[in-house]
A = this chain, B = another copy of it.
Amino acid sequence: MGVELSKEFFDKLRQSYESKDGVQVKLLLEEMHPADIAELFEEIDLEDARFLFLQLDAEIAADVIVELEDDEKAKLLAGIPSEIIAEQLIGLMDSDDAADVLGDLDDEKSEEILSHMKDMEQAGDIVDLLNYDEDTAGGLMAKELVAINENLTVKQALGEMRDQAEDIDEIYYLYVVDDRNVLKGTVKLKDLLFSSTNQKINSIFDPDIISVKTDAGAEEVAKIMEKYDLVAIPVVDGIGRLVGRITIDDVVDVIREEAEQDYQLMSGITEDVDFSDNVLRQSRSRIPWLLIGMFGGICGSLILGAYEDYIAQHAVLALFLPLIAATGGNAGVQSSAIVVQGLASGDLDLQSTPKKLFKELKVGLINGIVCSSIIFLYNLIFSDSFALTLTVSIALFSVLVFATVFGTFIPLLLKKLKIDPAIATGPFITTSNDIIGLFIYMLIARLIFGYFY
């Protein structure tokens, strides 16, 4: 309803902007949501996007800029004079969005735009926000909020709100502060409506508030808002003064990005790319992990090289190299992934590391017994060499148990070293398990084949 735009609509729009029919374009764009316009801009040529952009009302244009991806944003703004950006775009945005946009531009341009802003208070807010690290509560928050003094009456508070709320799109809570602007609690808009007008705010506000400090990490903010089902959370400074609020829509982006990042690390992609990025960027984001994998493969070849004559003698050993390597890799990734997820959701903090490893050891033992029994039976039936049968199943068992425990240990270690544990799930764990697996396999082969032959 309202959001589905037909192919015909887009065809008509394309015809209009290709023939530079400004009037028609204006009419059609009015039917689109800013988020849809932004999506369109990312798919069409920059020149066309610029033409369309210039036909937009300032309010809508500002919303579209906010929705654009970073590189697209800079490209579109490149041709527009700073005065116009300041007055007609940045001036119409919420402070957090304005700071995001300016943060994506280079410092010189950003300062030039700020110097052209007429509303000094708003410019000051934006400069304040630009000081915070992007990945902290301070970097996520907006300055727009309704703060009311605890000593006001409901009637006064409603008046106060009327003054403050003009620029604010959505109000979820009113924040109650004392004379020093220290956050004391919240009042729901609903409760304000249902209270008698001369009641004091003091007597109706809810003092049980969950807030975050400006330096709290973005992921921590997301965790808290998710856990306590909050749509907005107040941000306070070191001494508890209210400085901003974070709304859930910004946090949803954090959650999505965090998940995508872990996913990309796991798949061995080093940069934040998506399918629409160009071939070179795609290639560049994948080469590093491919090279690490290759380095692992070369190490593997050196280990096997030490046994080359042995393999020539017992070529049948080579047949199961891929199986050993793959199973070790798979088992390791499984363990790491579960640990990384547990760390991300915060479930994992209560158990000690040895306890966790012991538990994984048990999982590894069970899986090792199941898999090695199957391969034992398989080789018992289909292979002529009992030495091979024994070697493959004992090696598979050892590799699986080792990989399972190792896959648990590495992300926990990384976490302790304050490195993102999600790195462990990438080709790193697969590669090292490959190498160690080969080593274990050849070691066991030597022992058993040495005994038999």
Contacts and interface: CB of A to CB of B under 8 A. Distances in A.
Interface in A183-228: 188-190, 193-194, 208-212, 224-228
Interface string A279-298: 11011001101110110111
Contacts of A342: 274-276
B318 A268 contact: no
A171 interface: yes
Contacts of A311: 311, 315, 318
Contacts of A225: 252
A322 interface: yes
B267 A337 contact: yes
Given A35-B227, A269-B334, 12 more contacts: A1-B210, A170-B188, A280-B366, A290-B367, A290-B371, A294-B371, A294-B375, A296-B322, A304-B322, A309-B315, A318-B318, A330-B430
Contacts of A339: 275
Contacts of A193: 158, 161-162, 189, 193
Contact of A298 (B158, B260, B323): B323
A165 B190 contact: yes
Interface in A252-287: 252-253, 255-256, 259-260, 262-264, 266-269, 273-276, 279-280, 282-283, 286-287
A193 B293 CA distance: 62
Contacts of A350: 43
A249 interface: yes
A321 interface: yes
Contacts of A39: 227
A245 to B, nearest CB: 13
Interface in A312-363: 312-313, 315-316, 318-327, 329-331, 333-334, 336-339, 341-342, 345, 347-348, 350, 356, 359, 362-363
Contact of A294 (B231, B240, B374, B431): B374
B322 A438 contact: yes
Interface in A366-420: 366-367, 370-371, 374-375, 378, 400
A231 B248 contact: yes
Contacts of A370: 283, 287
B334 A268 contact: yes
Q: Which 4 A-B pairs have the closest CB atoms?
A: A297-B323, A267-B337, A259-B259, A312-B315
A425 interface: yes
A229 interface: yes
Nearest to A34: B228
Contacts of A276: 342, 347
Nearest to A209: B2
Nearest to A273: B338
A170 B231 contact: yes
A244 interface: no
Contacts of A248: 231, 248-249, 252
B267 A425 contact: yes
A3 interface: yes
A327 B367 contact: no
Contact of A371 (B282, B291, B348, B366): B291
A434 interface: yes
A228 to B, nearest CB: 5
Contacts of A168: 190
A287 B1 CA distance: 45
Given A190-B189, A315-B309, A319-B301, A274 B330 contact: no
Interface string A228-257: 111100001000100000011101110110
